[in-house]
Amino acid sequence: MDAVELLVEAGAALAGSLDPRTTMREVAKLTVPRLADLCVIDLLDEDGRINDVAVVAADAKVARGLEALRASSPLDPDGEHPVARVIRSGQPELLAEMADTSLRTFAESSIHAEFMIANNYRSAIVVPLQARGRTLGALSVLRLEPRKPLGAAERPYRQEDLELAAELARRAALAIDNSRLFSDLRRLEQRMEAILSSVAEAITVIDRSGQTIFANQAAADLLGFPTPSDLTGAPPGTIMSRFLVSDEQGDELGLESMPARRLFKGEHPEPLLVRNIVRATGEERWLIVRSSPIADPESERVSYAVNVFENVTEVKRAQLAESFMAEASRVLASSMDYTETLREVARLAVPQIADWCAVDVLGESGEIERVAVHHSDPHKIALAERLDRSYHPAPGDPAGVPEVIRTAEARIYTDIDPDALAAYARDDAHLELLKEIQPTAVIIVPLAAPTRTLGAITLVSSESSRRLTQADLGLAVRLGRRAGTAVENARLYTERTRIAHTLQRALLPESLAEIPGVEIQTLYAAAGELNEVGGDFYDVFDYDEDRTMLVIGDVCGKGPRAAGVTALARHTLRAAAIGGQSPTEMLATLHQALMRQPPGADLCTVCLIALAREEHSARLTIALAGHPPPLLISPAGKVEQVGHSGTVLGVVDPLRIEESEITLAAGETLLLYTDGVIEAGRPNRLLGEEGLLALCAAAPELTLKRFLEHIEGAALQRAEGRLRDDIALLALRVEG
């Protein structure tokens, strides 16, 4: 018998089989009849029992009989049977000649003993089957010979037979071990597949070439394949091209950014959040992609990557919508310039909601005016501007922006195809422009103020081919409402501010009467918001032949009513002066006029000074009605209050006014002011009367204009730039 031939045949037989039972039988068949009359392979199971047997014999009856015996009385792993001993020791045994007595000691039962004796068990070799340092079982080869006189027998097994059997066993063990591992793996794989098919997350396994070797149904659904096998059948690299994949910032991501690819490059990628748009349908999804490596245990090289895709579209959409609305609200509240605000809104919407955003507003005469258009590519903006110029929507157009403005109802157009574009286009050139923009979906929502529609916001999806959904429509409607309210507020504010400026100008004299030899300066600072009209006023006008009347006053309150009363006060005082009344009489006239006003108690404080120019000085007649007394500042900076307190006008009867006369010498300064000055900086940094008196000490060093600015500056500083009340100042000096 040729040992080499046997081993070559064994190699060929063992390479082809992956089923452990087949492998066992193949090994056994090789030995019979060339090496043995009977070959038995016993294998250990996971629990250490000798439980699996393959028997091949020259006589099929023997094989069947032994198989039946092993089934009815399995070998005791701790027993004296050579197979048990070899499995325990790991050492081969050569039983060259077996006597009936020794056969009896091996037997598990009397039937077993009778079987061995009856079938002429004569000579045996038992070798362990060992692979990867483990004993799997034992291979036994036997010669079955009737006993003959010594010397005439067929050759019993010798040492060289044992060596051949051991060599065969080594190969067989490896083949059996491999096929067992393979079958374990198959079972494991089947279990894994059963588990993975039932999980909701999409799971794929890809190899280093990028080939998908496993996918569950959820993965097939997510990636747009009918079944997992369609997905595993797709060539490497063809799956990703079905999608537009970008990160949170909107930057497109390539295959090399995917966690699986990075795993193969030896990196340790974090889970990746991607925006995934199905090119075919425009559907947008947000996915978290996690990849874990399966490394080869020996080389530790990553051979497979397991991808788990978690669909977080709903969560991400809601989160984006909230942060978008928060940002939009912030932008809308930040400016009262509504054109600029709407441009900001358009910028915000791209690319988060759509590829394009345009805002149109309804002009005063009903025309539609494009105030903002945005796209991330400036070239495209130019395209949209060209479209708007050439094919500007008319208020009567049946569809699009004019329709939304007319009906105040949002519109969504999805799956726009070339036919729909052609139907909408006014002519061929229009159609060409529209085709260049290539819209796939459009949302138009009203720019809705609480009581009217101011315009419309248009959102267009084009090159990203992102499908616009009902959720986007909802978000856009909210945006339209928020922006509409903001625009309305901005318009009202602008209008109010304009009215306020106009009114304020009307309340203050356009020019002041000039007095030769007397310098007069005035200053007016409005409080806080531009649109609140304050009640401070001043005036200087010719009183009689040689006197000039100086007026400063304050009407209690703010707003339109105070503005009306202020105008009334100024004009009533001028009229009374023309009528030749004394300062006290002028005040009484104003008081009567105020008392005749509709109820509401309009309080007004006034300081009147009739100035008569004299040589190097001026004679002043002072009449106060509830007003802070003027301050007289000496050239040395000494300050004193002048005038007698008088009753505030408008409410209290009887009026008590006492005129007083003083002389204003050259170099002296007289300051008239309203209470806004001394109340500046309330409550913690109040300037107060004392503060004002201290500021006045600097007057002699300053020009009159600088002096007034000095006071205004101090008041503003106290008020940290936000005056709560108006400030009016009037100062005069007699030139020397």
In the bound complex, what is the minimum distance in angstroms from residue 596's beta carbon to another protein?
15
Sorted by sequence, the CB contacts under 8 Å of residue 665 that are 6+ apart come out as 616, 617, 734
DSSP at 157: P
Residues across the chain: 736
In the bound complex, what is the minimum distance in angstroms from residue 630's beta carbon to another protein?
13
Nearer Cβ to another protein, position 454 or 604?
604
CA–CA–CA angle 24, 27, 30 (5° rounding): 150
566 near another protein, rule: CB under 8 A: no
- Using CB under 8 A as the binding rule, the residues of this chain from 528 to 547 that contact another protein are 528
Contact characters 568-607, another protein, x per CB under 8 A: ---------------------------------x-x-x--
Nearer Cβ to another protein, position 431 or 652?
652
SS3 89: helix
681 near another protein, rule: CB under 8 A: no
- Across 313-393, the runs of DSSP E, i.e. the strands, are 356-362, 368-375
Contact characters 601-640, another protein, x per CB under 8 A: x-x-x--------------------xxxx-----------
CA distances, 91 to each of 27, 82, 138, 501, 633 (Å) = 20, 10, 10, 112, 125
Per CB under 8 A, which region of 147-155, 359-367, 398-406, 553-561 contacts another protein?
553-561
Per CB under 8 A, which region of 100-108, 499-507, 645-653, 661-669 contacts another protein?
645-653
In the bound complex, what is the minimum distance in angstroms from residue 543's beta carbon to another protein?
25
Residue 194 C-beta-side C-alpha neighbours within 13 Å: 6
Query: Would you call the peptide bond into 351 cis, given omega within 30 degrees of 0 as the criterion?
Result: yes
Q: Are 730 and 672 in contact (CB under 8 A)?
A: yes
Q: How far apart are the first and last CA of the chain?
A: 147
Nearer Cβ to another protein, position 169 or 648?
648
Nearer Cβ to another protein, position 400 or 676?
676
Query: Would you call the peptide bond into 77 cis, given omega within 30 degrees of 0 as the criterion?
Result: no
693 near another protein, rule: CB under 8 A: no
Task: Among 145, 645, 665, 698, indicate the residue that binds another protein (CB under 8 A).
Answer: 645
In the bound complex, what is the minimum distance in angstroms from residue 369's beta carbon to another protein?
33
In the bound complex, what is the minimum distance in angstroms from residue 643's beta carbon to another protein?
10
Nearer Cβ to another protein, position 269 or 553?
553
Residues facing 413 on adjacent strands: 442
In the bound complex, what is the minimum distance in angstroms from residue 652's beta carbon to another protein?
5
Per CB under 8 A, which region of 32-40, 188-196, 679-687, 700-708 contacts another protein?
679-687
Task: Among 325, 575, 652, 697, indicate the residue that binds another protein (CB under 8 A).
Answer: 652
In the bound complex, what is the minimum distance in angstroms from residue 556's beta carbon to another protein?
4
Q: Classify residue 204 as exposed, middle or buried by CB count within 10 Å of its CB (0-12, 13-18, 19+).
A: buried
Task: Among 651, 666, 697, 698, indicate the residue that binds another protein (CB under 8 A).
Answer: 651
Nearer Cβ to another protein, position 343 or 558?
558
Q: Are 598 and 539 in contact (CB under 8 A)?
A: no
Please give the helix or strand (H or E) that residue 145 lies within, else none.
Answer: none
> What is the rounded distance in angstroms from the CA atom of residue 647 to the CA atom of residue 367?
57
**Beta carbons within 10 angstroms of residue 312's beta carbon:** 14
161 near another protein, rule: CB under 8 A: no
Task: Among 682, 697, 700, 716, indicate the residue that binds another protein (CB under 8 A).
Answer: 682
Nearest to 691, CA basis, from 709, 679, 673: 679
315 near another protein, rule: CB under 8 A: no
Q: Are 552 and 537 in contact (CB under 8 A)?
A: yes
Nearer Cβ to another protein, position 128 or 646?
646
DSSP-derived secondary structure for 439-466: -SEEEEEEEE-SSSEEEEEEEEE-TT-P
In the bound complex, what is the minimum distance in angstroms from residue 505's beta carbon to another protein?
23
Backbone angles phi, psi at 604, to 5 degrees: -145, 130
User: For another protein, how many residues bind (rule: CB under 8 A)?
Assistant: 28
Per CB under 8 A, which region of 53-61, 62-70, 322-330, 678-686 contacts another protein?
678-686
Contact characters 67-106, another protein, x per CB under 8 A: ----------------------------------------
395 near another protein, rule: CB under 8 A: no
| Contacts of range 332-335, beta carbons closer than 8 Å, 24 or more positions apart | 332/482, 332/483, 332/486, 333/486, 335/490
Backbone angles phi, psi at 108, to 5 degrees: -85, -20
Contact characters 707-726, another protein, x per CB under 8 A: ---------------x-xx-
Site residues, another protein (CB under 8 A): 528, 554, 556-558, 601, 603, 605, 626-629, 645-648, 651-653, 656, 675, 679, 682-683, 686, 722, 724-725
